[in-house]
């Protein structure tokens, strides 16, 4: 295994960096989209609330691989060509945003209704109450499940291997096919994911303890 690591260290490093990059980008965009959809789900306007609910139910119940393959196969076929990394990023973002929307929705609903009433009584508009009073508290309440979702996102990024997304799993498949050292190759891939997810798990637990003391 050590010889395999020395020979293919550059490929594994490239896959490691791409996995980190796609995970961070997908987290950034899915958090923005998911937060907006989550607020839509709690809107007092029925039409907006329905759009948010439809988005969540639609993308949450479609397999991630199907979404990624849609961007990798269908979009280039009829619209514009995109590479596997971009297709995987779009799939991860849309898929993860549906779950983040539900988390944000739960966080908003966890904020006492009295907070909204106090804000309105002080002359704030509904939008200002959401922006300055409810949403900051909702995000704080949602941080632990959001952290877990980020860890899931990192693991879900392995779907990029199916669309030539140049992630850890993709290069693990390349190494296994070239060397026929299947066992060792996927052990190395698993270790690479552990290097990412174990520190993240530790940081999230530390953040939860910190928030609990405040």
pLDDT tens for residues 189-212? 999 999 989 988 888 888 777 766
pLDDT grade for 112, boundaries at 50, 70 and 90: confident
Helix (H) or strand (E) holding 155: helix 135-156
Domains of the chain, residue spans: 1-213
- Mean model confidence pLDDT for the chain: 88
| % of the chain exceeding 70 in pLDDT | 97
pLDDT of residue 40: 92
1-213 to CATH, choices 1.10.3720.10, 2.10.70.10, 3.40.50.720, 2.170.190.11:
1.10.3720.10
Kindly report the pTM of this predicted structure. 0.88
- Exposure string of 79-113, with b = 16+ CB inside 10 Å and e = fewer, is eeebebbbbbbbbbbbbbbbbbbbbbbbbbeebee
Which of 48-52, 88-92, 112-116, 155-159 is the least confident region?
112-116
pLDDT tens for residues 115-137? 777 777 777 777 778 777 888 87
């Amino acid at each position: 295994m050590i010889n395999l690591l020395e020979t293919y260290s550059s490929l594994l490093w490239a896959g490691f960096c791409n996995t980190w990059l796609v995970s961070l980008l997908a987290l950034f965009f899915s958090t923005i989209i998911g937060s907006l959809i989550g607020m839509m789900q709690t809107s007092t306007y029925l039409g907006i609330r329905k759009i948010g609910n439809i988005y969540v139910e639609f993308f949450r119940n479609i397999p991630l691989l199907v979404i990624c393959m849609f961007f990798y196969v269908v979009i280039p076929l009829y619209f514009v060509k995109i590479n596997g990394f971009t297709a995987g990023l779009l799939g991860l973002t849309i898929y993860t945003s549906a779950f983040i929307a539900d988390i944000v929705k739960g966080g908003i609903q966890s904020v006492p209704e009295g907070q909204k009433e106090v804000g309105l009584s002080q002359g704030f508009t509904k939008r200002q109450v959401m922006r300055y009073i409810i949403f900051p508290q909702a995000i704080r309440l949602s941080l632990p499940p959001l952290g877990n979702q980020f860890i899931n996102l990192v693991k879900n990024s392995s779907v990029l291997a199916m669309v030539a997304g140049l992630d850890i799993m993709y290069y693990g498949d390349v190494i296994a096919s070239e060397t026929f050292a299947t066992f060792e190759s996927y052990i190395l891939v698993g270790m690479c994911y552990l290097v990412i997810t174990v520190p993240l798990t530790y940081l999230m637990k530390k953040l939860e303890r910190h928030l609990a003391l405040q």
